[in-house]
């Protein structure tokens, strides 16, 4: 910033605020639509079950053999273990609406985030408002992109709920007009370190939801096996515990590498800013704790007796540490990272 | 995975071996890893001496009983505590104990041909068969097909071996040896990283210094305000460079209505000499852009105003003259300052109060600073005389005036009132105790000077660790076998099939698609033939 300070575009900043609000409203509607999809799933399941039984009967009659393949039932499953879209999954109207709304929200918020950056002539993640608004955008974008390939709509309520809360938290909790960066944040490491951190956190968000569902599904299967009635029929929209665990592991592995990079990039930046690459500042402590917990998770998957539910708990604890690090540590703990515009 | 049973009579060596097996087991490593995460947390809950020693002192003063107990358990020195060190040292010993046999094992694996072909490939998680033309139809012997399949697998990155002996010739193949290499690289780099931190840190040092405009810092022990040497530090390792602060510039935001007066740039203009007889160079120090001097870099960590004052004593002699570092308390640079004049006679003199860079009167009638720039600088001071407590040799904080043995001379509550000084003004103290004048205003910077020879090795090991981690997580180690079988049916007709099977070692979500790909390649080479009734 060699004395030629760019001018802040206040008007564009206000447009950005407006579009953030619009996006929040659209996300809230998408959340409702996803919830509606879950709510009416039991009815849909009954219909599909009835149809499946009918076809199977027909198949049995036509083939006249006992070993006829139960093709119809897998075809009609609402979600399969590889989380690919199935024929039956196309029947979920509410979910389709929810996904369209999510994309609309992503577009609106994408404009808002870019406009914020252009208005300030810098990357739009320099204070708490911007961490939350850009972070929620990334969560929504990553989720939408994954949806193109895999049927993760069963996570929609959770993800959109979280995105809505984050965005409302930003606009109501930490409203901050567009401004220049304080000198401490004027570094290209802000672009590298923070963007990878937020991206890693958004991936961990998705795996957190998967691991919670994995535990729920696990408990539900145990209770069904014990002959108890199905208390959560909507969980039939959710794949089995094992595929959830495996998919979460794949994403966690990617996110862990990103988090490792985040910590290392942070250390390089800390060296340039404060003269030491590691000094156990509160933020550093918690980034370390998160790293160690997820490292423990990866090792647990390779340790006898620790796979399944136990490793899922580690992933969940790791995510709670991330949330803690991002909220409580940013807001209440004194440290070198406390310039987040509070 | 070994089952732990009650400890039998093992003898000393047996006990050592048992302890070693326990320590190096994955379960123990995992436990220590999670314990490390838990143990790191208190360091964020309690103030740490290594981070902020003043906060620890404050804590101990405010909560003496709890503080004493916390201190006993080293909760103010978590990261150098016995228990934290014990956890990570055990973890790293466990890690080394895990790495060494694995290095040996993998070195052997790298020199060993792929494992022998299982008798039943259809038991493997991914397998299949393709019926192909018989030897008489295609003119290719089973052995030739196996050799071609070995080449095909080799092209795909497998290490393959054609096995022509026996009734059904086969290919054994394995790929992804690099996965284990990545894994080992990651873990070895972590050990290297920790060792670098420990060894490099011992030879390093860091210190702080406040530099007022016009002052020169010469890198020698006496020049530091505070100095922390590593355990192996030697004084002659200080590079004899010097840095003179010519000017310090701050740019404040003057356009924004919401962030008016927020600093947007700090730049220190300095003149450096790498050695006493070197040519002076003009350089700058900025936040995030330290002054890189080979050996010890200088970082800009603070700044403020240093009012230049002259104190004359009761005898009319100059008792103090020069800039006084005033510590900023808020964004408007309202700054706390203390002046001590121990040479004043007949009584020692002391002053404490505020510098207001732009003095304005607020609605309640108090003087406050209205701008961070020095538009209307003003000193608001109380004065004292008596014993400053400096003569008994006890070190004192220069920013704190010990007023216990001092008598007040000027204070808002006294008849004499407080001292209010504009730039260039002089104030005569009551009772002929002397005078104080506000001669000018300079800026100061606070700099950290740090030398840490571990930086480079830590950086290299960190980069290697990241590389190793990515390799170990994103490559797959797989084994593949291809067999060719020819059988003759009752009518004397030759049937020939290719049978293949794949096995993953470790996490591998891509095994299924690899099996599909392999089948495609095999079918490209030897098209499947349809036979009626099969």
Global ipTM: 0.88
What does the pLDDT average to over B352-369? Answer: 90
* Residue contacts between A and B (CB atoms, under 8 Å): 147
Q: Which pLDDT band, with edges at 50, 70 and 90, does B209 fall under?
A: very high
Q: Is residue B534 a part of any domain in this protein?
A: no
State the pairing for strand pair B335-341/B327-328: antiparallel
Verify that B119 and B242 share a domain, yes or no.
no
Give yes or no for B462 touching A (CB within 8 A).
Answer: yes
Q: First vs last Cα of chain B: how many Å apart? A: 45
Residue that the structure tokens 């390089």 belong to: A268
Alpha carbon of A122: minimum distance to chain B alpha carbons (Å): 13
| CA-closest candidate to residue B255, choices A20, A119, A342 | A119
pLDDT computed for residue A65 by the predictor:
45
Position A54 pLDDT exceeds 80: no
CB contact under 8 A, B78 and A280: yes
pLDDT computed for residue A337 by the predictor:
65
Alpha carbon of B156: minimum distance to chain A alpha carbons (Å): 23
Residues linked to residue A188 through DSSP beta bridges, in sequence order: none
CB contact under 8 A, B264 and A182: yes
CB contact under 8 A, A256 and B297: no
Verify that B406 and B313 share a domain, yes or no.
yes
CB contact under 8 A, B287 and A181: no
Q: Which pLDDT band, with edges at 50, 70 and 90, does B363 fall under?
A: confident
Verify that B369 and B435 share a domain, yes or no.
yes
Position A60 pLDDT exceeds 90: no
CB contact under 8 A, B36 and A292: yes
Higher pLDDT: A36 or B51? It is: A36
Kind and range of the H or E element at A131? helix A128-149
| CA-closest candidate to residue A273, choices B485, B266, B342, B215 | B266
Position A17 pLDDT exceeds 50: yes
Q: Is residue B290 a part of any domain in this protein?
A: yes
| Torsion angle of the four alpha carbons B396, B402, B407, B410, in this order, in degrees rounded to the nearest 10 | 100
Position A35 pLDDT exceeds 80: yes
Q: Give every strand in the sheet of B126-132, ordered side by side.
A: B126-132, B494-505, B477-488, B170-175, B159-163
What does the pLDDT average to over B236-241? Answer: 86
pLDDT computed for residue A338 by the predictor:
58
Position A3 pLDDT exceeds 80: no
Q: What is the mean pLDDT of chain B?
A: 90
Verify that B440 and B344 share a domain, yes or no.
yes
Structure tokens at A179: 């401004």
CB contact under 8 A, B450 and A275: yes
CB contact under 8 A, B469 and A276: no
Structure tokens at B293: 């001097």
What does the pLDDT average to over A222-232? Answer: 86
B440-490 pLDDT, tens digit each = 999 999 999 999 999 999 999 999 999 999 999 999 999 999 999 888 877
Domain range for B21: 11-110
Position A63 pLDDT exceeds 70: no
Cα-based angle B433, B434, B436 (whole degrees, multiple of 5): 135
Residues 221-260 of chain B with CB under 8 A from chain A are: 251, 253, 255-256, 258-259
pLDDT computed for residue B534 by the predictor:
43
Give yes or no for B80 touching A (CB within 8 A).
Answer: no
Higher pLDDT: B401 or A101? It is: A101
CA closest to B266 among chain A residues: A183
Report the distance separating Cα A238 and Cα A230, nearest Å.
Answer: 14
Position A236 pLDDT exceeds 90: no
Verify that B312 and B435 share a domain, yes or no.
yes
Residue ranges in B310-391 assigned as alpha helix (H): none
Verify that B321 and B290 share a domain, yes or no.
no
Instruction: Report which DSSP code applies to B497.
Output: E
Higher pLDDT: B363 or B339? It is: B339
Q: Name, in order, each residue with C-beta under 8 angstroms of B8's C-beta and a sequence gap of 6 or more.
A: none
Q: Are the beta carbons of B198 and B190 closer than 8 angstroms? A: no
Report the distance separating Cα A340 and Cα A75, nearest Å.
Answer: 51
B455 contacts in chain A (CB < 8 Å): 271, 277
pLDDT computed for residue A53 by the predictor:
72
Position A340 pLDDT exceeds 50: no
Position A339 pLDDT exceeds 60: no
Q: Is residue B185 a part of any domain in this protein?
A: no
Verify that B163 and B222 share a domain, yes or no.
no
Position A48 pLDDT exceeds 80: no
Alpha carbon of A100: minimum distance to chain B alpha carbons (Å): 30
Q: Which pLDDT band, with edges at 50, 70 and 90, does A85 fall under?
A: confident
Q: Considering its fold, how many domains does chain B have in total?
A: 4
pLDDT computed for residue B12 by the predictor:
85
Structure tokens at B42: 């208190």
Alpha carbon of B30: minimum distance to chain A alpha carbons (Å): 6
pLDDT computed for residue A69 by the predictor:
42
Residues 105-124 of chain B with CB under 8 A from chain A are: none
Report the distance separating Cα B270 and Cα B248, nearest Å.
Answer: 9
pLDDT computed for residue A56 by the predictor:
65
B67-84 pLDDT, tens digit each = 999 999 999 999 999 999
Q: What is the DSSP string of B461-517?
A: HHHHHHHHHHHHHH--EEEEEEEEEEEE-TTS-EEEEEEEEEEEES--TTHHHHHHH
Report the distance separating Cα A265 and Cα A194, nearest Å.
Answer: 9
CB contact under 8 A, A268 and B459: yes
Closest residue to A296, CB basis, from B34, B79, B290 = B34
Is the full-model pTM beyond 0.95? no
What does the pLDDT average to over A90-106? Answer: 91
Q: Which of B60, B89, B110 is the last residue of a domain?
A: B110
Verify that B324 and B411 share a domain, yes or no.
yes
Q: Is residue B180 a part of any domain in this protein?
A: no
Verify that B259 and B149 share a domain, yes or no.
no
Verify that B245 and B292 share a domain, yes or no.
yes
pLDDT computed for residue A75 by the predictor:
45
Position B353 pLDDT exceeds 90: yes
Verify that B170 and B237 share a domain, yes or no.
no
Give yes or no for A265 touching B (CB within 8 A).
Answer: no
CB contact under 8 A, A180 and B40: no
Position B243 pLDDT exceeds 80: yes
pLDDT computed for residue A267 by the predictor:
95
| CA-closest candidate to residue B1, choices A303, A36, A176, A316 | A303
State the CATH number of the domain containing residue B129. 3.30.310
Residues linked to residue B479 through DSSP beta bridges, in sequence order: B174, B503
pLDDT computed for residue B533 by the predictor:
46
Alpha carbon of A105: minimum distance to chain B alpha carbons (Å): 28
B462 contacts in chain A (CB < 8 Å): 264, 267
SS3 category, A43 = helix
Q: Is residue B338 a part of any domain in this protein?
A: yes
Q: Is residue B24 a part of any domain in this protein?
A: yes
Q: Which of B65, B95, B110 is the last residue of a domain?
A: B110
Q: Is residue B533 a part of any domain in this protein?
A: no
Q: Are the beta carbons of B278 and A202 closer than 8 angstroms? A: no
What does the pLDDT average to over A189-211? Answer: 91
Q: Is residue B246 a part of any domain in this protein?
A: yes
Position A194 pLDDT exceeds 80: yes
| CA-closest candidate to residue A153, choices A62, A46, A239 | A239
A292 contacts in chain B (CB < 8 Å): 33-34, 36-37, 40
Verify that B503 and B391 share a domain, yes or no.
no
Q: Are the beta carbons of A323 and A316 closer than 8 angstroms? A: no
Q: Which pLDDT band, with edges at 50, 70 and 90, does A62 fall under?
A: low
């Amino acid at each position: 910033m060699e004395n030629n300070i760019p001018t802040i575009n206040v008007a564009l900043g206000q447009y950005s605020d407006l579009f953030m609000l619009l996006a929040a409203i659209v996300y809230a509607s998408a959340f409702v639509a996803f919830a509606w999809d879950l709510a009416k799933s039991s009815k849909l399941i009954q219909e599909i079950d009835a149809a499946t039984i009918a076809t199977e009967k027909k198949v049995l009659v036509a083939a006249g053999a006992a070993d006829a393949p139960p093709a119809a039932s897998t075809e009609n499953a609402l979600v399969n273990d590889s989380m690919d879209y199935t024929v039956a999954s196309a029947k979920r109207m509410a979910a389709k609406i929810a996904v369209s709304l999510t994309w609309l929200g992503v577009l609106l918020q994408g404009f808002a985030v870019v406009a914020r950056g252009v208005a300030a002539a810098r990357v739009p993640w320099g204070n708490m408002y911007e961490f939350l608004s850009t972070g929620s955008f990334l969560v929504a974008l990553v989720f939408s992109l994954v949806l193109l390939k895999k049927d993760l709509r069963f996570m929609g309520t959770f993800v959109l709920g979280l995105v809505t809360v984050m965005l409302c938290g930003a606009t109501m909790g930490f409203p901050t007009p567009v401004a220049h960066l304080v000198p401490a944040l004027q570094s290209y490491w802000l672009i590298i370190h923070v963007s990878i951190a937020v991206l890693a956190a958004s991936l961990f968000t998705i795996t957190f939801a998967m691991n919670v569902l994995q535990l729920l599904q696990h408990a539900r299967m145990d209770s069904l096996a014990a002959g108890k009635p199905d208390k959560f029929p909507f969980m039939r929209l959710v794949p089995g515990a094992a595929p959830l665990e495996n998919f979460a592991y794949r994403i966690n592995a990617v996110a862990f590498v990103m988090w490792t990079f985040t910590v290392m990039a942070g250390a390089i930046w800390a060296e340039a800013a404060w003269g030491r690459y590691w000094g156990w500042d509160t933020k550093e402590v918690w980034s370390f704790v998160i790293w160690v917990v997820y490292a423990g998770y990866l090792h647990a998957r390779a340790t006898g007796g620790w796979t399944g539910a136990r490793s899922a708990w580690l992933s969940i604890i790791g995510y709670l540490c991330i949330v803690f690090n991002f909220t409580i540590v940013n807001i209440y703990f004194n440290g070198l990272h406390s310039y987040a515009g509070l | 995975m070994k089952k732990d049973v009650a400890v039998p009579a093992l003898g000393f060596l047996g006990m050592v071996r048992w302890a070693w097996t326990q320590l190096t087991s994955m379960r123990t490593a995992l436990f220590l890893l999670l314990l490390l995460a838990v143990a790191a947390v208190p360091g964020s809950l309690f103030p740490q001496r290594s981070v902020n020693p003043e906060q620890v002192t404050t804590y101990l003063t405010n909560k003496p009983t709890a503080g004493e107990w916390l201190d006993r358990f080293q909760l103010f020195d978590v990261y150098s505590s016995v228990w934290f060190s014990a956890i990570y040292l055990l973890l790293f010993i466990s890690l080394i104990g895990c790495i060494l046999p694995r290095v040996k094992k993998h070195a052997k694996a790298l020199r060993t041909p792929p494992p022998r072909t299982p008798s039943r490939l259809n038991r493997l998680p991914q397998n299949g068969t393709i019926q192909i033309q018989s030897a008489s139809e295609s003119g290719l012997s089973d052995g030739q097909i196996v050799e071609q399949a070995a080449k095909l697998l080799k092209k795909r990155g497998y290490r393959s071996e054609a096995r022509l002996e026996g009734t059904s010739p086969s290919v054994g193949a394995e790929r992804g040896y690099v996965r284990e290499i990545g894994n080992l690289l990651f873990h070895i780099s972590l050990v290297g990283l920790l060792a670098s931190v420990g060894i490099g840190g011992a030879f390093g040092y860091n210190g702080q210094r406040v530099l007022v405009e016009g002052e020169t810092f010469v890198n020698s022990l006496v020049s530091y305000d505070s100095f922390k040497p590593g355990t192996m530090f030697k004084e002659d390792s200080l590079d004899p460079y010097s840095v003179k602060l010519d000017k310090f510039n701050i740019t404040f935001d003057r356009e924004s209505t919401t962030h008016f007066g927020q600093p947007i740039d700090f730049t220190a203009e300095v003149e450096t000499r790498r050695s006493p007889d070197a040519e002076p160079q003009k350089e700058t120090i900025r936040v995030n852009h330290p002054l890189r001097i080979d050996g010890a870099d200088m970082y800009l960590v603070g700044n403020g105003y240093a009012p230049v004052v002259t104190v004359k004593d009761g005898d009319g002699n100059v008792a103090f003259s020069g800039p006084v570092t005033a510590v900023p308390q808020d964004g408007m640079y309202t700054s706390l300052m203390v002046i001590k004049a121990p040479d004043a006679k007949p009584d020692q003199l002391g002053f404490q109060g505020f510098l207001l860079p732009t003095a304005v009167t607020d609605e309640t009638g108090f003087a406050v600073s209205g701008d961070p720039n020095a538009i209307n600088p003003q000193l608001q001071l109380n004065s004292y005389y008596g014993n400053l407590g400096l003569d008994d040799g006890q070190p004192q904080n220069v920013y704190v005036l010990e007023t216990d043995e001092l008598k007040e001379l000027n204070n808002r509550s006294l008849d004499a009132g407080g001292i209010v000084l504009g730039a260039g003004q002089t104030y005569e103290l009551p009772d002929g105790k002397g005078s104080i004048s506000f001669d000018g205003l300079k800026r100061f910077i606070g700099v950290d000077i740090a030398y840490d020879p571990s930086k480079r090795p830590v950086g290299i090991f960190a980069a290697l660790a990241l590389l190793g981690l990515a390799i170990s997580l994103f490559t797959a180690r797989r084994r593949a076998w291809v067999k060719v079988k020819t059988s003759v049916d009752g009518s004397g007709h030759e049937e020939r099939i290719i049978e293949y099977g794949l096995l993953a070692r470790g996490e591998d979500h891509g095994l299924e698609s690899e099996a599909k790909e392999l089948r495609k390649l095999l079918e490209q080479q030897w098209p499947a033939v349809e036979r009626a009734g099969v």
